[in-house]
């Protein structure tokens, strides 16, 4: 077997199984923290796919579907990946937990366990030397998307999530984190084919629907999420004097359904709610409250009254 073929099979193995280690692979923690072009190919593919809109065009149904899927999957990231898997700020059943992981995985932001482990590491070392996506340490562009392309940040630190690794179904989804996005893409193609074949008056074609819902919606979603790592640490107001550079940003709170109240979150990350005061719009929290009324989730962690009083007495800077 040639070295080139071995390298190719190893690359496919790494893409398909996030826990795959080829014989002779070095410990990722010993690798330099720099762009790895093999790891970057999926991101390049995702972004280049958006340019296909030049050929497929635009019509109302695909655009509405893309916007709808953006907000549904943004909620899956903020409400499920972040506030549940990373912070365990509420409780749910094992079955619904599995459903949450699947819905979140359609966002193409890796598996829920990798996401949670990475985010817990961020809170432990926020804007310190060990923070893997800090604008203060590594610059804006690296904190936004560069860190995702590094082999060093690819493995899942299962030691950081002992409460989650006991569920084999979550570990499987995390290992094979391409399965759900591929299935999502096939479903988008199928819906597009149905619209084009049976409802031609709507003016949507199969490829048009696919490009808008899979490529454009997902790419915008990715950057909307990543702005919390980058922009929310450099732009906005600081109510709490936390040890990091986290900031509250109304604009980011709108496009991320409440995650823009980032300085609030770093002051008390265990709360389900991130908009501490009534005027701070936190759409993710409102939806989680609705799910709790339906009995799908429960024990939403509140913001301590002392922290609320602190927020009221601290003018934003």
Task: For 195-221, write each residue's pLDDT tens digit.
Answer: 999 999 999 999 999 999 999 999 999
Name the residue ranges covered by the structural domains of the chain: 34-313
Query: Is the alpha carbon torsion for 187, 192, 194, 197 positive or negative?
Result: negative
Please tell me the pTM assigned to this model: 0.94
* Cβ contact 167:94 at 8 Å: yes
Task: Evaluate if residue 25 carries a pLDDT over 80.
Answer: no
Task: Calculate mean pLDDT across residues 168-175.
Answer: 96
What is the Cα–Cα distance from 106 to 182, expressed in whole angstroms? 9
Give 254-289 as a 3 state SS string: HHCCCCCEHHHHHHCCCCCCCCCCCCCCCHHHHHHH
Q: What pLDDT is attached to residue 123?
A: 95
Hey, what are 154's tokens? 């690819």
Task: Read off the pLDDT band of 16 (50, 70, 90).
Answer: confident
Hey, what are 282's tokens? 């936190």
* Cβ contact 280:287 at 8 Å: no
Q: What pLDDT is attached to residue 317?
A: 64
């Amino acid at each position: 077997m040639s070295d080139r073929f071995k390298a190719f099979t190893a690359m496919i193995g790494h893409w398909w199984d996030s826990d795959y280690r080829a014989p002779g692979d070095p410990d990722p923690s010993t690798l330099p923290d720099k762009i790895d072009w093999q790891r970057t190919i999926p991101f390049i593919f995702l972004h280049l796919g958006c340019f296909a809109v030049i050929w497929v065009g635009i019509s109302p149904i695909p655009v509405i579907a893309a916007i709808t899927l953006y907000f549904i999957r943004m909620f899956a990231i903020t409400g499920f990946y972040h506030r549940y898997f990373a912070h365990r700020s509420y409780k749910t059943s094992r079955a619904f937990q599995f459903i949450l992981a699947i819905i979140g995985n359609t966002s193409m932001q890796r598996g829920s366990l990798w996401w949670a482990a990475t985010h817990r590491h961020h809170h432990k070392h926020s804007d310190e030397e060990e923070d893997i996506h800090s604008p203060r340490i590594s610059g804006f562009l690296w904190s936004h998307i560069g860190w995702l392309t590094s082999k060093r940040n690819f493995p899942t630190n299962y030691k950081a999530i002992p409460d989650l690794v006991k569920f084999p179904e979550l570990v499987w989804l995390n290992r094979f984190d391409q399965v759900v996005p591929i299935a999502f893409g096939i479903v988008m193609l199928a819906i597009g084919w149905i619209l084009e074949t049976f409802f031609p008056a709507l003016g949507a074609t199969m490829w048009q629907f696919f490009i808008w819902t899979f490529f454009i919606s997902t790419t915008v979603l990715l950057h909307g999420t990543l702005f919390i790592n980058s922009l929310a640490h450099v732009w906005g107001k600081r109510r709490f004097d936390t040890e990091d550079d986290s900031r509250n940003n109304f604009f980011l709170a709108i496009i991320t359904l409440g995650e823009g109240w980032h300085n609030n979150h770093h002051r008390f990350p265990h709360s389900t709610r991130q908009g501490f005061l009534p005027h701070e719009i936190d759409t993710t929290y409102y939806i989680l409250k609705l799910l709790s009324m339906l009995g799908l989730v429960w024990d939403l962690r509140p913001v301590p009254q002392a922290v609320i009083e602190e927020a009221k007495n601290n003018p934003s800077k």
